[in-house]
């Protein structure tokens, strides 16, 4: 692919700064490493991890509903005063002791499809939890990427301001020397000194903005204040911009890829599927429910202060019994709760359908905007690079003529301001182009974090 080298002299200082930073003792944080660290330490991501585990537990619980339920019970009762004699069924004024044991199991045979739809809904929720977790990771990575780009932009503008101040210091020194030689007047010195003071203020302002951008990036990453954060500024100097643009990609193809892979859209689709299962579950309330049950039981009885009763073990053997049966529950009238639940479930499904369609339309707009922005900022970077070269040449010529007495200090100030503005816009368009390229690649199914680095 044909490329155009865009290395105006205005970014030469950035390249030297990049080399110095790379060779420093501190460890450099690349954008991928910052994103990986942010994802690993983000609290929203951790919450989504726990929520996804809850969905898995709910799925296991739904499967367990098909298994038989087993209940065991042991009871002991002491009666004194008037009580019922279990042999004669008459009231006696005696003290007795009863001890009973029971074991029962029950299995649902038919519940109108409720259990099956419950498992399907739980399975959809498990996938929903995974999609929500992936969306939280992606959003955290994108927000960190944006914060990293903002910090790099502020770093670049601070270096441009430092370069501009150094140039103003040099011009002020030469103007004062020319004044001593009688080639410049006091007014020229005053104007250049005023510009030098303005550049010094601008440098302080840009450094403050860079410190604020670094703080924002730290907060986004949840990075402790004790850790040193040194950005990979090589990204500014070595950022390529293709003259012919990336390989043309059909926006519709990117959109259809995003339809299958975008976690936000997957969530909307899975919510729709879960709402559909909820609607079917609400219909099961109108069907009868059939269950099978079986059990074992035995007991022990004795009148206190009276002898002649069989032993505890013998009574347990004698009173041992078994039973089984079926139960049928018919919904007759439950104060309209089943009917209203059914209507609510239908409405929730329709809401989920609308949300899914709205999410698809939103995703299509985002894909189209990202592709358009990528191409737009690529063209802006190419044009602005040419403008920087032209403005740099014009500034050098104007300054040379000023030193020769053919231009005024106001001309130098105007050309210097024009050059600084062009350099800043070039830096902004290049960094924005980089972000849009990563965003389009994300919609095409590529991973946001391309280097799995964690700290």
Residue by residue, pLDDT tens for the chain (455 residues) are 333 333 333 344 444 444 444 444 578 899 999 999 999 999 999 999 999 999 999 999 999 999 999 999 999 988 777 766 666 777 777 777 889 999 999 999 999 899 999 999 999 999 999 999 999 999 999 999 999 999 999 999 999 999 999 999 999 999 899 888 888 888 889 999 999 999 999 999 999 999 999 999 999 999 988 778 899 888 776 555 665 555 556 788 999 999 999 999 999 999 999 999 999 999 998 999 999 999 999 998 887 777 778 888 888 888 999 999 999 998 888 888 889 999 999 999 999 999 999 999 999 999 999 999 999 999 999 999 999 999 999 999 999 998 888 888 889 999 999 999 999 999 999 999 999 999 999 999 999 998 654 44
Q: Quick count: other Cβ atoms within 10 Å of Cβ 369?
A: 12
- In 3-state terms the chain splits into helix, strand, coil percentages (rounded to 5) of 65, 15, 20
> Do residues 308 and 348 touch, judged by C-beta distance below 8 A?
no
Alpha helices in 67-185 (DSSP H): 114-180
Residue with tokens 């040193």: 228
Enumerate residues 6+ apart whose C-beta is below 8 A from 356. Answer: 265, 268, 269, 271, 272
């Amino acid at each position: 692919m044909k490329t155009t080298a865009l290395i105006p002299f205005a970014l030469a200082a950035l390249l030297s700064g990049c080399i110095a930073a790379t060779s420093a003792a501190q460890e450099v944080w690349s954008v991928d490493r910052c994103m990986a660290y942010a994802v690993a330490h983000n609290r929203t991501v951790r919450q989504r991890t726990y929520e996804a585990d809850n969905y898995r537990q709910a799925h296991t619980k739904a499967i367990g509903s098909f298994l038989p339920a087993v209940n065991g019970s042991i009871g002991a009762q002491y009666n004194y005063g008037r009580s019922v004699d279990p042999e004669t069924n008459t009231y006696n004024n005696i003290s007795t002791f009863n001890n009973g044991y029971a074991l029962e199991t029950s299995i649902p045979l038919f519940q109108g499809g409720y259990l099956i739809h419950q498992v399907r809904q739980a399975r959809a929720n498990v996938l929903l939890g995974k999609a929500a977790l992936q969306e939280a990771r992606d959003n955290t990575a994108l927000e960190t990427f944006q914060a990293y780009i903002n910090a790099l932009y502020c770093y670049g503008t601070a270096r441009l301001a430092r370069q501009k101040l150094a140039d103003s210091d040099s011009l002020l020194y030469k103007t004062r020397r020319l004044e001593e030689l009688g080639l410049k007047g006091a007014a020229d010195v005053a104007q250049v000194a005023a510009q030098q003071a303005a550049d010094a203020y601008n440098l302080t302002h840009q450094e403050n903005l860079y410190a604020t951008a670094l703080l924002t990036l730290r907060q986004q990453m949840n990075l402790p204040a004790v850790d040193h954060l040194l950005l990979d500024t090589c990204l500014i100097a070595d950022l390529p911009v293709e003259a012919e643009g990336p390989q043309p990609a059909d926006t519709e193809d990117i959109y259809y890829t995003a339809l299958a892979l975008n976690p936000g859209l997957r969530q909307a689709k899975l919510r729709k599927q879960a709402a559909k299962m909820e609607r079917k579950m609400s219909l099961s309330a109108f069907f009868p429910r059939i269950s099978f049950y079986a059990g074992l039981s035995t007991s022990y009885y004795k009148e206190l202060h009276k002898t002649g009763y069989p032993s505890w073990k013998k009574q347990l053997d004698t009173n041992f019994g078994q039973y089984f049966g079926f139960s049928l529950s018919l919904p007759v009238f439950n104060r309209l709760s089943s009917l209203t639940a059914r209507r609510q479930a239908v409405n929730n499904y329709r809401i989920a359908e609308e949300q899914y369609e709205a999410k698809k339309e939103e995703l299509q707009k985002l894909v189209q905007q990202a592709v358009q922005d990528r191409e737009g900022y690529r063209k802006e970077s190419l044009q602005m690079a040419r403008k920087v070269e032209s403005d740099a040449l014009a500034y050098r010529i104007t300054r040379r003529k000023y030193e020769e007495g053919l231009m005024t200090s106001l001309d130098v100030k105007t050309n210097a301001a024009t050059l600084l503005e062009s350099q800043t816009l070039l830096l902004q368009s290049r960094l924005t182009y980089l972000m849009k390229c990563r965003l389009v690649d994300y919609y095409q199914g590529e991973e946001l974090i391309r280097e799995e680095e964690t700290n």
